[in-house]
Chain A
């Protein structure tokens, strides 16, 4: 099973600041990584697929990079609606499809 480790667990930032979230895989997953955003009481929303492709309707301030075992989600300038929990997910080696433990981006 591929384990995804997200860091940091919590990121405290102010609106307008840049957010950098990390996801590390226990073995190479090529570019088969997705990122999701989840707000309280809501279902997750797909942000990025295949490491760097924005999903439909996702603003350009969200970008993804990386390949192999190290991946990054960057939010260039935080908007108030971006404070949420972010999860990565791999589809390289399954079953099982696996998710990281999440990074909470909170208002400083």
Chain B
């Protein structure tokens, strides 16, 4: 069974940093692109960043470019999101999501349960 489990969320002050992790199991992790998608409280879904299966092909939403860094360790089947210079508007549930087709950036067929990041003083 495919599983994605996020961790690392919490309360952080504006300007602070946080590193999210997403542990994957039940599929060949290195074959699939992975994304982070966030959802502010009571709001809709916002794509944040994507990384290709080999760690290349990295893209970011303009709202996080230059502040967030996506990476992956295929030997550990883990996806990461390093978040720096955090702002109040980054407050959200952060989901890791697996793309559906091998080596393709398309839709998301599996999602983690999410981890809450709260940026507040």
Contact = CB atoms under 8 A, between A and B. Distances in A.
Chain B interface size, as a band, is 20 to 34
Given A46-B107, A89-B107, A99 B46 contact: yes
Contacts of A71: none
A62 interface: no
Interface residues of A, number: 23
Interface of B: 35, 44-47, 50, 59-62, 95, 100, 105-109, 111-114
Interface in A47-102: 49, 55-56, 87, 89, 91, 94-102
B45 A96 contact: no
A99 B45 contact: yes
27 contacts: A32-B106, A34-B107, A36-B108, A38-B45, A43-B113, A43-B114, A44-B45, A44-B111, A46-B100, A49-B109, A55-B109, A56-B109, A89-B107, A89-B108, A91-B105, A91-B106, A91-B107, A94-B59, A95-B47, A95-B59, A95-B60, A97-B47, A98-B47, A99-B45, A100-B44, A102-B44, A102-B45
Nearest to B49: A95
B97 to A, nearest CB: 8
A45 interface: yes
Contacts, number: 59
Contact of B50 (A45, A46, A87, A95): A95
B106 A43 contact: no
Nearest to B4: A43
Contacts of B109: 46, 49, 55-56
Given A44-B108, A95-B50, A102-B45, 6 more contacts: A38-B45, A43-B95, A43-B113, A43-B114, A49-B107, A96-B47
A49 B100 contact: yes
A36 B114 CA distance: 16
Nearest to A35: B107
Q: Taking each of A38, A55, A56, A91, which has the highest tally of chain B beta carbons within 10 Å of its own beta carbon? A: A91
Nearest to A87: B45
B61 to A, nearest CB: 5
Given A43-B113, A43-B114, A94-B59, A99 B107 contact: no
